[in-house]
Structure 1
Amino acid sequence: TWGAAAMAMAFVQGETSFYVLRFILGAAEAGFFPGIIYYFTQWLPSSDRGKAMALFLSGSAIASVISGPVSGALLGVGGLNLHGWQWMFLIEGFASIVLCGVVWFWLQSHPHEATWL
């Protein structure tokens, strides 16, 4: 839903659709951080969780540094009767959907379920 809601943002037609889609996007994103914390509790001993959280939060900060210029570059994309901001939502939403598919099939809920261990 996160990626689909982001992609749908490219087609907002007014204030109401903007607020509805932002609410859906926020609801989809809301469980991500708690989910990461829960995932770490399933995979890591408590002595390693602090380091894992630090790496996760550092990665989040680095992603913010990178995503600004990438989003800015996407604003210059045009074509197919879409504006740059619409392409930005479509491309970034699609990337989220692709990453979701990879994570869905690669990560298991518990270490004992991982066939690659």
Structure 2
Amino acid sequence: MDDNVDSAESLAEVLALAGHKVWTAHDGPNALREVQSHLPEIILLDIGLPRMDGYEVARRVRQIPNLGTTTLIAMTGYGQEEDRRKSQEAGFNHHLVKPVDLNEVRRLLGSIPLSEQRN
């Protein structure tokens, strides 16, 4: 979920080519709708989303039944220690600073065990 449409769509294409099921949204409320519709196991989420920031989206995701084990990854331009602390408090599991290295994203995704119960 990223407000930069080109960036989000490019990353989505790369992840889809790698075999991942991918959905995109470009603002906070739409991100929540997508999450509730698809119940993803991993969410890549920009913190600087319009209409509702990624911190609030993360807090709300953590309140959705069936998403307790979802891995939340912040992908953001905010990289100070305070930003990392705030993302952790909001419920993020990982914090990546833009521009994000695609190999780092692949390594991180590959290290996350996925449930066999949700697809």
One fold, TM greater than 0.5?
A: no
Instruction: State TM-score, norm by structure 1.
Output: 0.28
Instruction: State TM-score, norm by structure 2.
Output: 0.27
Say which structure is richer in strand.
2
